[in-house]
Amino acid sequence: MTAATASGREDTRTRLLATALQLFTEHGVEGTSLQMIADALGVTKAAVYYHFKTKDEIAGAVAEPGLRELELVVEEASRLRRRGAQIDHLLTGFVDVVVRHRALVALFARDPGVTRALADSWSDIYGGRMLELFAGPEADESRAIAAHAAIVGIALTGGAPQFAALPDDTLRAHLVEVGRRLLGRPRRAT
Amino acid sequence: MTAATASGREDTRTRLLATALQLFTEHGVEGTSLQMIADALGVTKAAVYYHFKTKDEIAGAVAEPGLRELELVVEEASRLRRRGAQIDHLLTGFVDVVVRHRALVALFARDPGVTRALADSWSDIYGGRMLELFAGPEADESRAIAAHAAIVGIALTGGAPQFAALPDDTLRAHLVEVGRRLLGRPRRAT
């Protein structure tokens, strides 16, 4: 395989994922077929199959960049020494990822297809580690519940259609405030 | 139709819904067929069809008692005069319903079938009115976001599998606290 071919394939993959996100947003994952994706790209269904065997695989790949960013934030936070600094870094980083990928978050939140494709990696790896960092190593149930509510509250509010028109900075500030109240963190001096 | 027949049919309906909830919890709504429900009840599929035409109708009917309780709480809260009293009544009432029906809430939260069956009535009627009561009539975006986060945070945390073993009273107290922090309500003297 020449470098040009490899890069052509990479291009197709990138275009495929962008097209898929657009179609998923418009028709839902369940309402989008591999054939629709192929048609929108102007390629054959076989070309789509070359990259992905199932729609769930495509949904997973669409979500991957956001999940990778979140993973990075979790890693960074877990390397900090002070508990307060860990919570603050994870909170602002998490809110950043949610706001930056809000179209995707909205899709996850309302579409069973994406949720199913991501349920395992999301809940087990990221969800578990975020909960632990937010609630602390010896979390009592009160802290664990507040941390859980912060994670789902931030994610599902960030992706909610009624706030879709808010500017990123505004949404970000309000979501960080939601997290601070639930996690008992003071406002930062600004 | 005699009274005895009517009451027999009512019994079948009640048993049908209890059986459906059990099968939904075990296999998910998507993984449960009308035939499975009929088999578990020891009746024919035609007998199930007599009561419900589709699985979505059954999912809707399973959720109905919880939604009716919530509707009542919303009505009561909206009749109170003071804003603080409205918020407190809706908050404790909402948490009560979530905790009392947590098996159902857990099912909603993770099962596309139930979510789809309820999406319209839930989001438009209850979700909208709860948001309005929590955030106030002239809600600025900060209050609207906190109210949204409180609703989804309480519902999805109350139905989360990791808190399924907590006693009702404990879970209730922690979820009310989540709501108080987000809605800026003082703790009640106890």
Other C-beta atoms closer than 10 Å to the C-beta of B175 total 27
Spell out which residues of chain A touch residue B153, defining contact as CB-CB under 8 Å: 148-150, 152-153, 182
Whether A178 sits inside 8 A of B145 (CB atoms) is yes
pLDDT attached to residue B104? 85
- Residue among B113, B149, B160 whose CB faces A153 most closely: B149
CATH of the domain at A90: 1.10.357.10
Tell if the CB–CB gap between B142 and A182 is shorter than 8 Å.
Answer: no
> What are the φ and ψ backbone dihedral angles of B105, each rounded to 5 degrees?
-60, -40
> Which of A115, A174, A182 lies at the smallest CB-CB distance from B142?
A174
For residue B46, what is the domain's CATH number?
1.10.10.60
Residue A189: inside a domain: no
pLDDT above 90 (res A111) = no
Domain end call among B31, B53, B75? B53
With beta carbons less than 8 A apart as the criterion, state whether A163 and A171 touch: yes
Q: How far is B52 from chain A (nearest CA, A)?
A: 24
Q: Label residue A160 exposed, middle or buried (CB < 10 Å: 0-12, 13-18, 19+).
A: buried
- Burial of B51 per CB tally in 10 Å (0-12, 13-18, 19+): middle
Residues A87 and A145 in one domain: yes
Of A53, A72, A95, which one is at a domain's C-terminal end?
A53
- A21 lies in some domain: yes
For A128-183, what is each residue's pLDDT tens digit? 889 899 998 877 899 999 999 999 899 989 988 889 999 999 999 999 999 999 99
Lookup result for tokens 């936070």: A77
Asked whether residue B49 falls in the same domain as residue B63, the answer is: no
Instruction: Compute the distance between CA of residue B72 and CA of residue B57 in angstroms, rounded to an integer.
Output: 22
Asked if the model's pLDDT at residue A127 lies above 90, the reply is: no
Looking at the fold, whether A100 and A174 belong to one and the same domain comes out as yes
> Is the residue at A188 inside a domain?
no
Whether B33 and B104 map to the same domain: the answer is no
* CA A154, chain centre distance (Å): 12
Which among B53, B70, B86 is the end of a domain?
A: B53
Percentage of chain A beyond pLDDT 70 is 84
Q: In this structure, is residue A41 part of a structural domain?
A: yes
Instruction: Name the average pLDDT for chain A.
Output: 86
B114 belongs to a structural domain:
yes
Tens digit of each residue's pLDDT, chain B (190 residues): 555 566 667 788 889 999 998 898 888 887 899 999 999 999 999 999 999 998 888 988 888 888 889 999 999 999 999 999 999 999 999 999 999 998 888 887 766 555 655 655 566 666 788 989 999 887 789 999 999 999 989 998 998 888 999 999 999 999 999 999 999 998 765 4
Is residue A190 domain-resident?
A: no
Residue in chain B closest to A111 (alpha carbons) equals B112
Say if the Cβ atoms of B178 and A149 lie within 8 Å: yes
Whether B126 and B101 share a structural domain: yes
Interface mutation vs chain A, best among B30, B148, B151, B185, most A CBs within 10 Å: B148
Asked if the ipTM is above 0.90, the reply is no
Q: Output the six-digit token pair for B146.
A: 């906190």
Q: Which long-range contacts (CB under 8 A, 24 or more apart) does A52-55 make?
A: A52/A16, A55/A29, A55/A113
Question: Residue B141: which of A146, A156, A170 has the nearest Cβ?
Answer: A170
Same domain? For A44 and A89 the reply is no
> Which pTM does this prediction carry?
0.85
Q: Is residue B38 domain-shared with residue B131, that is, in the same domain?
A: no
- Identify the domain containing residue B8 by its residue range: 3-53
Q: What share of chain A has pLDDT > 90, as a percent?
A: 53
Nearest residue to B109 via CA among A115, A31, A126, A94: A115
Separation in Å, CA of A38 to nearest CA in chain B: 26
**Rounded CA separation B97/A178 (Å):** 23
Distance from CA of A179 to the nearest CA of B (A): 9
Residue A190 has pLDDT above 50, yes or no: no
Domain co-membership, A73 together with A114: yes
| Position A26 confidence tier, pLDDT thresholds 50, 70, 90 | confident
Tell me, yes or no, whether A112 lies in a domain. yes
Q: In terms of domains, do A47 and A72 share one?
A: no
Same domain, B14 and B76: no
DSSP-assigned letter for residue B162: G
Domains of chain A: total: 2
Chain A residues in contact with B156 by the CB 8 A cut-off are: 148-149, 152, 156
Within-domain flag for B146: yes
B75 CA to chain A: closest CA distance, Å?
Answer: 23
pLDDT at residue B121, as a whole number: 59
Q: What is the pLDDT of residue A16?
A: 93
Compute the nearest-CA separation of A158 from chain B (Å): 9
Q: Is A141 close to B175, i.e. CB distance below 8 A?
A: no
> Are residues A85 and A147 located together in one domain of the fold?
yes
pLDDT of residue A120: 58
Residue with tokens 């998923």: A24
Mutate to test the interface with A, among B140, B152, B168, B172 (most CBs of A within 10 A): B152
Residue A40: the pLDDT is 95
One domain for residues B48 and B60 = no
Chain centroid to Cα A97, Å, comes to: 7
How long is chain B? 190
